[in-house]
Amino acid sequence: MNICSCVVHTKAGRGAQVAKRLGALPVVEVLGGIAEGKLVVTLEDASDAYAADTLGALNQVPGVTNTILIYHYGGNDISDEIPAEEHSNDHHPA
């Protein structure tokens, strides 16, 4: 599993157009920054598309000037990485 977060810079006044184009791509979610032209985007692997392939293609989207990778997680399913609680609420000292 791969999860990436990035900032996608757009040409002036093109944030909404680019956000719409990016949102149509598989594995892409635009979370904000549309008005500023600095789109906060997440990408996550899907069964039919890989985040890394899409990340490489972001700069080819019309209106995009630059893409900056902010965060990358690569490994097992993230739920497997979070340890189960060792103590339940029943074990508080009196």
Higher confidence at residue 73 or residue 79? 73
Give the DSSP H/E element, type plus range, for residue 69.
strand 64-74
Number of neighbouring beta carbons within 10 Å of residue 45:
18
pLDDT attached to residue 80: 57
85 in any annotated domain: no
C-beta neighbour count of 75 within 10 angstroms: 10
In the block, tokens 């920054």 appear at: 33
Percent of the chain with pLDDT over 90: 53
Q: Is 91 a domain residue?
A: no
Q: Give the model's pLDDT for residue 23.
A: 93
Is 78 a domain residue?
no
Identify the residue whose tokens are 């293609």. 57
Tell me the β-bridge partners of 3. Answer: 44, 73
Can you tell me the distance from the alpha carbon of 30 to that of 7, in angstroms, rounded to the nearest whole number? 10
CATH code assigned at 53: 3.30.70.920
Considering its fold, how many domains does the chain have in total? Answer: 1
Quote the domain boundaries for residue 59: 2-70
- 76 within domain boundaries: no
Q: What pLDDT, in 10s, does the model give residues 3-47? A: 989 999 999 999 999 999 999 988 999 999 999 999 999 998 888
**Has residue 84 been placed in a domain?**
no
Q: Tokens 């032209």 — which residue?
A: 37
